[in-house]
Amino acid sequence: MTQGKRGGGSKSGARGGAPNSKKAKGGSRHTGGMRGLTVRVKTSEGRTVGSQRWLQRQLNDPYVLRAKAEGFRSRAAFKLMELDDRFRFLSKGKRVVDLGAAPGGWTQIAVNRVKAGAPGGGVVIGIDINEWEPVANATCMTLDFLDPGAPDALKQALGGKANVVLSDMAAPTTGHGPTDHIRIMALAETAWMFAEEVLAPGGVFVCKVFQGGTEAGLLKQIKARCGAVRHAKPPASRKESAEVYVVGFDFKG
């Protein structure tokens, strides 16, 4: 299980440290200036039609191009950026846990927005089952979140309660919709169980789910413990993807 795999974020992408440019830290909300000629991928022996389509989509994706230009490790960074621009849950001094963090795009955004490493700044802890390069000013753990010892390891690294728990975890897809839905919902439910243990009163839970019906039980649990719950599909999320994000505000503790 590679629950650290981001939607749209290639593991083979750039693995630089946290972006240092003002452009990367600011994070504009549009993809203007990235248009160009469409890159077409030629057929190749050993390359399936599906992989050819995926590669062509990646080469022509404006968010992929922008991530490379601005020093982010994956296009998924813009999903978190857009969610926070809308709901404002990341700010200086917040303590954040990022579940399924590799290759580090969400961790980079969290570090920038809570000012981790700066005087009065926050704390960011990231975990993923896959090997990933450390992000400056974050604690980066390579460990299966489903390992029985993972929650305690995260709590120890955090050193207290969290203000925000993020989960962009996803299991490898099988191509069978109902099966993939059940697998990602199992991860979402595990993330919520962890959030219930570590979130401070007033905290925020952000989690990826797939539309499909069986998320009703999880939503009921979140609504019972949070003051408000919202659904969002950020612009950086591909239109054809069934993913949406659940954001639970004002955790009751």
Annotated catalytic sites, by residue? 208
What strand order describes the sheet that includes 199-210? 139-142, 123-128, 95-99, 162-167, 199-210, 243-251, 226-232
